[in-house]
Amino acid sequence: MFCCSQVHIINMTFPRGSGILLHITSLPSPFGIGDFGDSAFRFIDYLESAGQKYWQILPLGQTGYGNSPYGCCSAFAGNVYLISPEKLREDGLVSDSDLTNNGFETGRADFGNDIAFKNDLLWKAFAQFKTTTDETVIAEFHRFCDENTFWLEDYSLFQALKLKNNYASWTEWEDGLKRREPGALADARKDLDDETFAQKLYQFLFFKQWNALKGYANGKGVRIIGDIPIYLTSDSCDVWCNQDQFKLDDDGKPSVVAGVPPDAFSSTGQLWGSPVYDWEKMRSDGFRWWTERIKFSLRMFDIARIDHFIGLERAWEVPAADHTAENGTWVPVPGTDLFSTLRYVLGDLALIAEDLGEVTREVEDLRDDFGLPGMRILQFAFGGDPANLHMPHNFIENAVVYTGTHDSDTVVGWYKARARKRKNQSGEADFCRRYLQTNGKEIHWDFVRAALASVADIAILPMQDLLGLDNSARMNLPGSMDENWTWRARESDFSEDIAGRLGDLTRLFNR
C-alpha cells in the first residue's frame, strides 16, 4: 500500500463540453427495457448531431429486487438484461421466431416481463453457443474468461448457487458454501459446471455488446460517464467472497448498515441496509478490492462518478436491527490513504465526486486534494442565499453542473411545485425567475442555458429536462418503491428541433 502524509494536488481536467443523462433502460426498444441494441447506437448519433461530448448513464451492474441500478449484486458483473436480443440474433445465437410475439407494450419499462423473456432467450443463446465451431468466437470467449478470472469465477458460481437455492441469500446456504470452504466450493463447481458456463457466457455477451457500443461512442467523439455505487447489497457476490472486509456478524449478516442521518428531506434519515466496509481490514491489504474495482470501472467507462462520495471520508453506521437511520454514528474512513493508493497504482483518476448531502470541510479537502470535480445542481441554487455554491456565479471550472439528477424532480416539475404556491412570490420560484431573467414559460431551457453558459468544465442535462417533462417522468423518488426507474423515452423524443436548439447553445458557449 502507498500512503503519504502530504498530498500533491493534480487536477484531472476534462475537456469543456456538455452531454445528456439517459440510462440504458430508458432507451426505446421493442422489448421490456432499453438495451444495447440499435436504439443505443442511434442515440449516440443524436448526441453527435447536437454537438454533445458526453453520455452519462447510471450503474450497469446486475440488479436484483426492485430493479434499482444502485442495488448491484456485484461490483464487476454486468446487468445481463441490458443485452440486446437483436444483437444476439445478428450473432446467430437466437432466431427470428425467438424475438416475436413477446407481448411487450411501448411505454414505461416492464422489468418483470423483460427479465422472464431475457432469461429464456439467454438460455437459448447458451444452448446454441455450445454447438458453435467458430474458432474465433471460442477464442474470444476463453480470452474474456482468462482476463476476468479474478471476479468471473466466483461470480458465475455465486449465480449458479443462487439459482440452485431458489435465490435464497448466501447467508442461508449450507455452512460449507456460506463459509467458502475449499472442498464445498470445488464440489459445487463440479456439480454446477453447465450453469457456471452459462453465467460466464452471459457476461461475455454483455461486455462484447457494451464494448462495441462504447467504441462506437468514442469514435463519434462521445465519452461515457459511468456510475460507481459506493455500497453493494448484503446479498452480493463481493460480500460473500470478502466477508472479512465487511462488518458482519458470525452468520454473515451485517452488524451495522449504511445510510444517511435525518435532514431537511427526511426526519428519520435514509436507511439503505447495505453492509459497511471494514476499512481497517481493507487498509491492511492495500485496498486491494477497491483498487481492482476502480481499475475495472475506468476500463469500462471513460469517466466514472463515485456515488455518495461523502462515504469515502466518513460513514453513517446504523445498528442493523434499527428500522430508521436516526441512531447512527459517523465513523471515519481512511479516504486519503485510499486515494493515495489508487493514484499510486492507477495514475490519474478520471473520477467525479458526487459530493452532495452533509458536505464537511474534510470531505471538500479529500475531493480537492485529489483534484476531483464535484457536482453542482441548479435545482439547489435558488433558496435565497447568493453565496450558495450551486448558483452559477459561484461555480469553479473543475466541476460538473446538472440541471437535476436521477434522484430529483424534473426542472418543470420542480418549478411547477414552487410556482403553484401563491405565497412564493418572494421564494424560490420568484428568485429563480429574477436570477435567470425569465418569465418561466420555458423554464427547462432557461436551466439548460444557465448550465451551458457556466464556467463548469462539464454540463450534464437529463433527457427529461431537454424534453420539458413534468414529474411523471421522474426517474427515482428516494424512499419509495413505486414506478422508480421505469421512465422511457420514445423514438419521437429525439427530434431535430431539440438537437438543433441544444447544438446552437452548445456552440454559443464553446462546449
State residue 445's pLDDT score.
98
- The active-site residue out of 114, 307, 457, 465 is 307
**From start to end of 220-286, where are the E strands?**
223-228, 256-260, 270-275
Percent pLDDT > 90 in the chain is 90
Say which residues have a Cβ less than 8 Å from residue 119's Cβ, sequence separation at least 6. Answer: none
**Which among 182, 175, 160 has a CA at the least distance from the CA of 252?**
175
- The active-site residue out of 322, 407, 430, 493 is 407
Q: How far apart are CA 7 and CA 369, in angstroms?
A: 6
Q: Which residues pair with 224 in a beta bridge?
A: 55
State residue 229's pLDDT score.
96
Cβ pair 88, 37 in contact under 8 A: no
256-260 and 314-319 beta bridge pairing: antiparallel
Measure Cα distances from 483 to 117, 274, 473, 476 in Å: 20, 22, 10, 8
State residue 357's pLDDT score.
87
Q: Give the single-character DSSP code of 144.
A: H
Phi/psi zone of residue 249: left (φ > 0), alpha (ψ -120 to 50 degrees), beta? Answer: beta
Mean pLDDT estimate for the chain: 94
Burial of 357 (0-12, 13-18, 19+ CB in 10 A): middle
State residue 5's pLDDT score.
40
Cβ pair 301, 224 in contact under 8 A: yes
Instruction: State the CB neighbour count (10 A cutoff) for residue 251.
Output: 8
Measure Cα distances from 153 to 147, 190, 373, 468, 502 in Å: 11, 13, 35, 46, 45
Q: How far apart are CA 363 and CA 240, in angstroms?
A: 30
Cβ pair 380, 394 in contact under 8 A: no
Q: Which amino acid makes up residue 386? A: P
Instruction: State the CB neighbour count (10 A cutoff) for residue 495.
Output: 13
303-306 and 351-353 beta bridge pairing: parallel
Instruction: State the CB neighbour count (10 A cutoff) for residue 133.
Output: 6
Q: In what order do the strands lie in the sheet with 17-21?
A: 351-353, 303-306, 223-228, 54-56, 17-21, 458-462, 399-402, 374-377
State residue 426's pLDDT score.
58
Q: How far apart are CA 156 and CA 230, in angstroms?
A: 22
Inform me whether the pLDDT recorded for 215 exceeds 60. yes
* pTM for the predicted model, two decimal places: 0.95
133's grid cell: 465451431
- Only one residue has cell 418561466, namely 440
Say which residues have a Cβ less than 8 Å from residue 342's Cβ, sequence separation at least 6. Answer: 287, 290, 291, 294, 349
State residue 6's pLDDT score.
47
Q: Is 428 a catalytic residue?
A: no
Q: What is the pLDDT of residues 85-139, one digit of tens each?
A: 999 999 999 999 999 867 787 789 999 999 999 999 999 999 999 999 999 999 9
State residue 451's pLDDT score.
98
Q: Is 86 a catalytic residue?
A: no
Q: Assign 10 a pLDDT band (cuts: 50, 70, 90).
A: low
Q: How far apart are CA 234 and CA 276, in angstroms?
A: 9
Torsion of CA 76, 80, 85, 87, to 10 degrees: 10
State residue 101's pLDDT score.
67
Q: Is 263 a catalytic residue?
A: no
244's grid cell: 472479512
State residue 1's pLDDT score.
42
- The active-site residue out of 238, 354, 355, 465 is 354
Q: Give the single-character DSSP code of 5.
A: S
